[in-house]
Amino acid sequence: MTNTLGFDTLQIHAGTAPDPATGARQVPIYQTTAYVFRDADHAAKLFNLQEVGYIYSRLTNPTVAALGARVAALEGGAGAVCCSSGHAAQIMALFPLMGPGCNVVASTKLYGGTIQQFNNTIRKFGWSAKFVDFDDLAALEAAVDDNTRAIFCESIANPGGYITDLNAVAGVADKVGLPLIVDNTSASPYLCRPIAHGATLVVHSATKYLTGNGTVTGGIVVDSGKFDWSASGKFPSLAAPEPAYHGLNFHAALGAMAFTFHSIAVGLRDLGMTMNPQGAHYTLMGIETLSLRMQRHVENAQKVAEWLEKDPRVDFVTYAGLKSSPYNHRVASICPKGAGGLFTFAVKGGYAACVKLVDSLKLFSHVANLGDTRSLIIHSASTTHRQLSEAQQVAAGAAPNVVRLSIGIEDVADIIADLDQGLAAATA
């Protein structure tokens, strides 16, 4: 399935074909642990990466492989690896690049769980992170040192819905010779294709817009296939004999597919963060309607944001689709089909009013998720960003007086009516 086909065609057909054994049109759920080898030579070729096939479902599975191929096609990538969650995808993206003493330069405008993962958890691997405001390109470049191995940001930042100038950030990454990793969860490939803007790797929480119905946890890493892993000598796992895989030089042997095959053969083998085939099947079905859902998410979010901005009970709204947003000028170039369905707004009355608003809504679901067909709300400062200091919360767009909305695809009049009655209760 070529990438010359339109997005709506690819989201239905990419990575799949009728099952050769049964003719089944939908991708079967291959609920199996292992696969029978034709003979000893076949098994050896699979383990030597001389032949593509299936060995063990911790590494590869036909249902999961179909999902990876589909998302790679939608993102314009060379290959993809699927894993157990969005957080797993972030570790999988960094794993072949990092080593003890290495660091990643990350945007301050990130999901709170990612800031926690980068600020604390990855230190247990001997890695570290530097957080920089990516709107300050000089500060971004200055943060890079000899031990930096990647630059990381979100296309549409969670929770504020801020749009990153990917072209400018990619320019810095190219200048310093480092891969740019972009979390594209909040945009989905329908609204933004980071590889087209210079990204090396794209990560997704498939839990969100890709699946779209709150049934799956999953993650995906898409490789552009365009980065020269051998140029700098900084990426020995990919461009030198890899002791974890009998001395294979992945880049020399596999070229544009080096990262993808390393992530499967070493990353999934040793970290075990595997996506299950049933979850992959649900995500494949969700992606079939991705463009239709995203159009409605954007349409509803724009109307809700415009309504909130005019409401005297609201201090400010962060939606990039608003002309008042400092990120509005980036919509046309980075997210030309719309600014997404995610944003925050500040409630007059602060922390207490935010909590009361959350408790007063009836149509909105109070959950720690986004990208569902349903409209969702959360007070980030008391939940997803609770582990951060107030200064970090403010920098991430999750100040104590702010709530995050993930606008669903319900009738927009009903969404607004629920917010209206909730704000009335919260600010009474």
Instruction: Please state the φ and ψ torsions of residue 168, each to the nearest 5 degrees.
Output: -70, -45
Assess whether 199 and 336 both reside in one domain. no
Question: Is there a domain that residue 1 lies in?
Answer: no
Burial 339-354 (b: 16+ CB within 10 A, else e): bbbbbbbbbebeeebb
Assess whether 304 and 263 both reside in one domain. no
pTM for this predicted structure = 0.95
Residue 47's contacts (CB-CB under 8 Å, 6 or more residues apart) are 55
The CA-atom distances, in angstroms, between 173 and each of 71, 181, 182, 255 are 24, 10, 12, 21
Assess whether 18 and 121 both reside in one domain. yes
Helix (H, G, I), strand (E, B) or coil at 378: strand
Question: Is there a domain that residue 182 lies in?
Answer: yes
Q: How many residues does the chain have?
A: 428
> Looking at the predicted structure, is the pLDDT value of residue 41 above 90?
yes
Report the pLDDT value the prediction gives residue 2, as an integer from 0 to 100: 53
Between CA 290 and CA 345 the distance in angstroms is 26
Report the pLDDT value the prediction gives residue 4, as an integer from 0 to 100: 83
Closest CA to 156 of 343, 300, 384, 333: 343
Assess whether 225 and 355 both reside in one domain. no
Beta carbons of 201 and 90 less than 8 angstroms apart:
no
End of a domain among 252, 286, 320?
286
Q: Which two tokens stand for residue 57?
A: 């479902």
Assess whether 258 and 244 both reside in one domain. yes
Q: Which helix (H) or strand (E) holds 260?
A: helix 258-262
Assess whether 367 and 218 both reside in one domain. no
Between CA 219 and CA 397 the distance in angstroms is 24
Beta carbons of 358 and 85 less than 8 angstroms apart:
no
Between CA 201 and CA 43 the distance in angstroms is 30
Domain containing residue 359: 291-426
Burial 212-226 (b: 16+ CB within 10 A, else e): bebebbbbbbbbbbe
Closest CA to 65 of 284, 332, 376, 271: 284
Assess whether 167 and 132 both reside in one domain. yes
pLDDT tens track for 86-134 = 999 999 999 999 999 999 999 999 998 899 999 999 999 999 999 999 9
Pairing of strands 219-223, 79-83: antiparallel
Closest CA to 263 of 244, 247, 277, 279: 244
Report the pLDDT value the prediction gives residue 371, as an integer from 0 to 100: 96
End of a domain among 286, 307, 323?
286
Question: Is there a domain that residue 189 lies in?
Answer: yes
Residue 335 C-alpha from the chain's centroid: 15
Report the pLDDT value the prediction gives residue 153, as an integer from 0 to 100: 98
End of a domain among 286, 308, 338?
286
Report the pLDDT value the prediction gives residue 21, as an integer from 0 to 100: 85
Between CA 57 and CA 275 the distance in angstroms is 9
Assess whether 276 and 415 both reside in one domain. no
Q: To the nearest 10°, the Cα dihedral for 25, 27, 31, 37?
A: 90
Helices (H), 125-240: 137-143, 166-176, 188-191, 236-239
Assess whether 210 and 338 both reside in one domain. no
Beta carbons of 345 and 406 less than 8 angstroms apart:
no
> Looking at the predicted structure, is the pLDDT value of residue 288 above 70?
yes
pLDDT tens track for 227-261 = 999 999 999 999 999 999 999 999 999 999 999 99
Report the pLDDT value the prediction gives residue 193, as an integer from 0 to 100: 98
Give the CATH number of the domain where residue 303 resides.
3.90.1150.10
> Looking at the predicted structure, is the pLDDT value of residue 384 above 80?
no
How many structural domains are present in the chain? 2
Report the pLDDT value the prediction gives residue 359, as an integer from 0 to 100: 96
Residue 238's contacts (CB-CB under 8 Å, 6 or more residues apart) are 96, 97, 229, 250, 251, 258, 259, 262
Question: Is there a domain that residue 2 lies in?
Answer: no
Give the CATH number of the domain where residue 141 resides.
3.40.640.10
Question: Is there a domain that residue 360 lies in?
Answer: yes
Q: Which helix (H) or strand (E) holds 242?
A: none
Q: Which two tokens stand for residue 41?
A: 């030579």
Query: Quick one: pLDDT band at residue 181, thresholds 50, 70, 90?
Result: very high
Assess whether 193 and 312 both reside in one domain. no
Report the pLDDT value the prediction gives residue 347, as an integer from 0 to 100: 96
Report the pLDDT value the prediction gives residue 3, as an integer from 0 to 100: 53
Residue 301's contacts (CB-CB under 8 Å, 6 or more residues apart) are 319, 321, 338, 339, 340, 341, 342, 343, 405, 407
Helix (H, G, I), strand (E, B) or coil at 68: helix
Q: Which two tokens stand for residue 174?
A: 């190219």
Report the pLDDT value the prediction gives residue 108, as an integer from 0 to 100: 93
Q: Which two tokens stand for residue 147?
A: 């031990």
